[in-house]
Structure 1
Amino acid sequence: MADKHLSTQFDSELNSLSSRVMEMGGLVESQIRQATYAIGAFNADVARQVIETEDRVNQMEVEIDRELSSVIARRQPTARDLRLLMAISKTTANLERVGDEARRIARMVLSIVDKGGAVRALPASELQVAADLASAQLRKVLDAFARLDTAAALAIMKGDHLLDKEFDGFVRKLITYMMEDPRTISSSLDLLFVAKAIERIGDHATNIAEFIIYVVKGADVRHSSMEHIESTLK
């Protein structure tokens, strides 16, 4: 991931940190897959597994931050090395929040299961498209981060609008269901929270993509227009 350094030990430490980020990302990806399955099958047992995994995700964030602090204190990195370490810290924070979103989905599944049959009339299965998109975005951005691939990062940022479109369409359908049958309101609101959690996963993937550009180009492109980001990468 990083350029060669005079200190091979420093290289080893950077590679170790990068590997830990990928390990954490894999765990979070697994959470998303389980949460997606749980909402599609209304499976309470799988939902509970997602919630239980959250403790491990949180612990990994703490461990990586501790390693980062140690490396920064001992090596006093500058320029790109410092940007890389900062990006790793922000990436792990975003991965932890993705884990939070997966846990939120799982909790909504438990709530829906407890309420019984009303949800069966709702378009819960249509969340699968958005969930697959969000999972793919996360997988792609982790691969891009491992390779510090700015072109892939840009593509991920451009693709975020697809998730937003899915979310908006699903919300419109839920509103229609609630207007036609007020008995579905409670379960519809649960599904709305699920849809928002999925949309937020895409936002976190976009955040990580921005950090990739920061490492490589030294430019903070948060809150920037797509035109500005594209010009930064030229």
Structure 2
Amino acid sequence: MPDKHLSSQFDAALNALSTNLLEMGGLVERQIDHCLTLLNDYDPSLVLEIRSGERQLNALEIEIDEEIHRVIARRQPAARDLRLLMAMSKCVTNLERMGDEARKISKRMRRIYDTGTTPAIETIELRQCGEMASSILRRALDAFARMDAVAAAHIVRDDKAIDDVFRAYVRSLVSQMTQTPAIVSVALEYLFIAKALERIGDHAKNIAEFVVFVVKGRDVRHIPLVELEREALLN
């Protein structure tokens, strides 16, 4: 949570922004849960819920960003306060993009369902990828709420595991398509779903990196993981 300031109004504004951001994160978590449910059991009502949730996320993104701009204009923050507000804006963007990915997944699942067939495609690794992405997002939001740079660094490392599962699933799909050409069109839909889940993990990782940025004052995007972890552990 934000540090205390002499101005109680400033504190209230920062707390309200943090609360709204975490509310947005909770909505994204529900979107991902709906997507994982669709992988197991297609439900048209969940597709509609995901679509409605995406509209809510779009509205929240605009609302939070506008408030961030107002706070910056009124308070002219510096140092950690400015980093926090910048990070909030970027986190909101990443959350909105996760909502976009969830919408893409629901559309792909609807296309698969509309084919009227039950493809014999293994989805264990796909569900595993989704569960890992959901876990990383939940932990990233918790790290943001506590401004825990060490926990955030662990999340960045764990995102690499999602990449490994994604690549393994792609290899599996290619093998299945080679052996059974009839499933190619449906398999490609699953490939796009896997990529969307992998992207959700990337966006959650970005949120974790912004936590390190706020706490440590260094932009840790695009630096080696070992260096990021060392930065997070520095006092």
TM-score in same-fold range (> 0.5): yes
What is the total number of aligned residue pairs between the two structures? 233
Mapped pair 1:4 → 2:37: no
Structure 1 counterpart of 2:175: 176
Per-residue displacement from partner, 1:57-115 (whole Å, max 9, x unpaired)? 10000000011011011111011000000000000000000101111100001110111
Contact 2:150 2:229 (8 Å CA) reproduced: no
Structure 2 counterpart of 1:55: 55
Normalising by structure 2, report the TM-score: 0.96
The sequence identity of aligned pairs, in percent, is: 48
CA distance in 1 between partners of 2:139 and 2:116 (Å): 37
CA distance in 1 between partners of 2:230 and 2:41 (Å): 45
Tell me how far 1:158 sits from its aligned partner.
0.6
Structure 1 counterpart of 2:20: 20
Per-residue displacement from partner, 1:157-214 (whole Å, max 9, x unpaired)? 0101110111011111111111111110000000000000001111011111110011
Tell me how far 1:230 sits from its aligned partner.
2.3
Tell me how far 1:44 sits from its aligned partner.
2.8
Structure 2 counterpart of 1:80: 80
Q: Structure 2: which amino acid aligns with 1:31? A: Q
RMSD: 1.0
Structure 1 counterpart of 2:131: 132
Q: What are the residue-to-residue correspondences of 1:98-117 with 2, within 5 Å?
A: 98-117=98-117
Contact 1:39 1:105 (8 Å CA) reproduced: no
Tell me how far 1:9 sits from its aligned partner.
0.7
**Unaligned ranges ≥5, structure 1:** none
Structure 2 counterpart of 1:204: 203
Normalising by structure 1, report the TM-score: 0.97
**Unaligned ranges ≥5, structure 2:** none
Point out 4+ residue stretches in structure 1 off by more than 4 angstroms. none
Tell me how far 1:226 sits from its aligned partner.
1.3
Structure 1 counterpart of 2:225: 226
Tell me how far 1:52 sits from its aligned partner.
2.1
Structure 1 counterpart of 2:93: 93
